[in-house]
Chain A
């Protein structure tokens, strides 16, 4: 039995035991359900082995929503614990674990897959391609992300969750102070999904550079594609730093190296440095695709082209460069001199300039446009003032002298939620509503959607604006409780109500999806929003090959040209279409990575070595495999096309 003791949770509570039971029951329920309805074959053929960018996008989307609920449950627990002074719902250790997993889950396993979902769903369609450049690699990226996410999520019932914060600073994260396997989970689960992100970066860059439709020069790409391109460039340059930092952290913890230790020549501050060399670009990886989605939505629902296309592109290129020049602003208080802090203060403030340019471009797009207040547009309009507050407080934090006061208080927490929620989360919900009909063939209910928007916005303001005040008054972040004498009580109670409203908003979103599955009309045509770019030019739902004929493009709004200015999108004869074959190898590799990761976390060397050999075996297999893909013949294309209204386009 001694062997199994290592899997026990070091700090159990009734809540954790209840979760164990719940997880067990849900897994049994799912397995039983799939078996009962005989869906294993369907799942394997249509989903586990798929290399289709649309299906991979949908899987990212579902995972992101699931993780949003996992991270949201953490958030509610934290707000409940802080809702009044001296609460005893969570103890210190449990609170530490929860804020750590909340941060990691939300950034790495919610926001990242959400942006990957939209990149996968939209980019190939927007550039008139049939898939991404490396479809099988794309599947592998997804399954690595998924393996990492599952690994991280079992931590709280097997062996214990990480508890050193999502930033996992050493020496706290070292073996001396974090004795459970929790931080091993952090190092290895993020590593696995990070490898997947890096591969997506390479894949998307190649797709965008090499697979655009005839006539689509770089400066004729739709804005979301541009934003995805820039975000992926940042991924490719930023993620290797994380990979290496995590590797060094892992060897420190598992093999007693001394990279980040405080003795034997190690340097704990080096971790903070590396973490933010990746970490700051990471926040721009998240926000740029969100900006791209807002650009698409604002131009569609203002019924006019995007104002200042060139300055939009230019500001994103500038942001991509600047985002690598500011990382020190996350640790102004670490002890380096005033010279260094001043340099990084200035670079940080500089980022606000291109960001401001974008805000003005959106405003000018709406100015003189004919605005339609749909749900996606509501999110985009709400985003502008709310996000601006986040940007302004960011500039306050950027003043290094003032940051000595703000740093690691609730003021900081308010800042980054103020950028990430109206910036990223609103964009994802707007994108979800906007692109839903393209991929599922029906619209989400607008009325319920508007309710969700208002609940979420009001909830957000109530939850996070009080933190600016308590932060300035000195409430530190990551403190599990406070005394009544501090006077933080009432504002924290307000935050709790805000958080509860946000939770209700998310429930209404789920209700909306279920309601719309049941009640929404299905004959919505290809273009329910009267939109402008190529993704709306193909059928709904999108056929496997996306476009029967590749579109001809003459501007960044090719579909609008075709609708209003007589541009001919599809000319020429149908030809056989070359498509990639499905493959089970990425899924299997995902499982092997999971096993390898789990073995490393618990230092089980025999299975770890076997799994590593398995990974290399899969890669060798791929190298020697002959797979020329398959062809969809003209006859078949015609049959498929005739099933859609109006026949072949």
Chain B
């Protein structure tokens, strides 16, 4: 019975719902812009990671390493692009 019950996925679902609720707080309570954005960004990234690991089974096959390398590489490039653009167009303009 234990193998048949997808405990990990159910936990994942509950956790994603909690993350969604936390994100909704930003809309329904009165926060400063900075705090709100921080909450949204943090919950969004955890949410995306959760989807990838729990529901899309990254890391469970023997391609796990390639998948994580790929995600890591994408992450680095996205960060460089975003912060580079901010530097160019806002902070140092």
Of the residues B77, B84, B85, B88, contact of A237 by C-beta under 8 Å: B77
> Does B74 make an interface contact (CB < 8 A)?
yes
Contact A324 B92 (CB under 8 A): no
Contact B73 A325 (CB under 8 A): no
Contact with A along B64-93 (1 / 0, CB 8 A): 001000000110010011001101110011
Which of A326-368 touch B at CB < 8 Å? 327-328, 334-337, 339-340, 343
Of the residues B74, B81, B92, B93, contact of A277 by C-beta under 8 Å: B81
- Report the separation of the CA atoms of residues A328 and B85 in the bound assembly, to the nearest whole angstrom: 9
Known: A209-B66, A237-B73, A237-B74. A340 touches B81 (CB 8 A): no
A265 to chain B minimum Cβ distance, whole angstroms, is 13
- Report the separation of the CA atoms of residues A337 and B73 in the bound assembly, to the nearest whole angstrom: 28
Contact B73 A269 (CB under 8 A): no
A residues less than 8 Å from B92 (CB atoms) = 336-337, 339-340
B63 to chain A minimum Cβ distance, whole angstroms, is 8
Q: By the criterion of a CB under 8 Å from any partner CB, how many residues of chain B are at the interface?
A: 14
Known: A237-B74, A336-B93. A324 touches B81 (CB 8 A): yes
Contact A273 B93 (CB under 8 A): no
Of the residues B63, B73, B77, B85, contact of A273 by C-beta under 8 Å: B85
> Does A270 make an interface contact (CB < 8 A)?
yes
- Report the separation of the CA atoms of residues A336 and B87 in the bound assembly, to the nearest whole angstrom: 8
B residues less than 8 Å from A233 (CB atoms) = 73
A26 to chain B minimum Cβ distance, whole angstroms, is 44
Contact A337 B93 (CB under 8 A): yes
> Does A241 make an interface contact (CB < 8 A)?
yes
A residues less than 8 Å from B93 (CB atoms) = 335-337
> Does A267 make an interface contact (CB < 8 A)?
yes
Contact A340 B74 (CB under 8 A): no
Contact A267 B80 (CB under 8 A): no
B residues less than 8 Å from A269 (CB atoms) = 89
Most A-side CB within 10 Å, residue of B63, B74, B84? B84
Which of A261-295 touch B at CB < 8 Å? 267, 269-270, 273, 277
Of the residues A267, A324, A334, A335, contact of B77 by C-beta under 8 Å: A324
Q: By the criterion of a CB under 8 Å from any partner CB, how many residues of chain A are at the interface?
A: 20
Contact B88 A241 (CB under 8 A): no
- Report the separation of the CA atoms of residues A337 and B89 in the bound assembly, to the nearest whole angstrom: 10
B61 to chain A minimum Cβ distance, whole angstroms, is 11
Give the residue name and chain of the A residue nearest to B81 (CB).
Answer: A277
B86 to chain A minimum Cβ distance, whole angstroms, is 10
Give the residue name and chain of the B residue nearest to A210 (CB).
Answer: B63
Contact A273 B88 (CB under 8 A): yes
Contact B77 A270 (CB under 8 A): no
- Report the separation of the CA atoms of residues A336 and B91 in the bound assembly, to the nearest whole angstrom: 9
B55 to chain A minimum Cβ distance, whole angstroms, is 19
A residues less than 8 Å from B80 (CB atoms) = 324-325
Which of A191-223 touch B at CB < 8 Å? 209
- Report the separation of the CA atoms of residues A269 and B86 in the bound assembly, to the nearest whole angstrom: 12
- Report the separation of the CA atoms of residues A267 and B85 in the bound assembly, to the nearest whole angstrom: 12
B24 to chain A minimum Cβ distance, whole angstroms, is 27
Which of A219-249 touch B at CB < 8 Å? 233, 237, 241
B73 to chain A minimum Cβ distance, whole angstroms, is 7
A276 to chain B minimum Cβ distance, whole angstroms, is 10
B79 to chain A minimum Cβ distance, whole angstroms, is 11
B residues less than 8 Å from A339 (CB atoms) = 92
Known: A237-B74, A237-B77, A336-B93. A328 touches B66 (CB 8 A): no
A residues less than 8 Å from B81 (CB atoms) = 241, 277, 324
Contact B77 A328 (CB under 8 A): no
B residues less than 8 Å from A327 (CB atoms) = 84
A221 to chain B minimum Cβ distance, whole angstroms, is 15
A residues less than 8 Å from B84 (CB atoms) = 325, 327-328
Contact B88 A336 (CB under 8 A): yes
Which of A300-315 touch B at CB < 8 Å? none
Contact B77 A340 (CB under 8 A): no
A residues less than 8 Å from B77 (CB atoms) = 237, 324
Known: A237-B77, A324-B77. A340 touches B88 (CB 8 A): yes
**Residues of A with Cβ closer than 8 Å to B?**
209, 233, 237, 241, 267, 269-270, 273, 277, 324-325, 327-328, 334-337, 339-340, 343
Complex A-B: 26 CB contacts under 8 Å = A209-B63, A209-B66, A237-B73, A269-B89, A270-B85, A270-B89, A273-B85, A273-B89, A277-B81, A277-B85, A324-B77, A324-B80, A327-B84, A328-B88, A334-B88, A336-B88, A336-B89, A336-B92, A336-B93, A337-B92, A337-B93, A339-B92, A340-B87, A340-B88, A340-B92, A343-B87
Q: Known contacts A237-B77, A328-B84; can you find 12 more A-B pairs with CB under 8 A?
A: A209-B66, A269-B89, A270-B85, A270-B89, A273-B89, A325-B80, A327-B84, A334-B88, A335-B93, A336-B88, A336-B92, A337-B92
Minimum-distance CB pairs A-B, first 6: A337-B92, A340-B92, A336-B88, A336-B92, A324-B77, A237-B77
**Residues of B with Cβ closer than 8 Å to A?**
63, 66, 73-74, 77, 80-81, 84-85, 87-89, 92-93
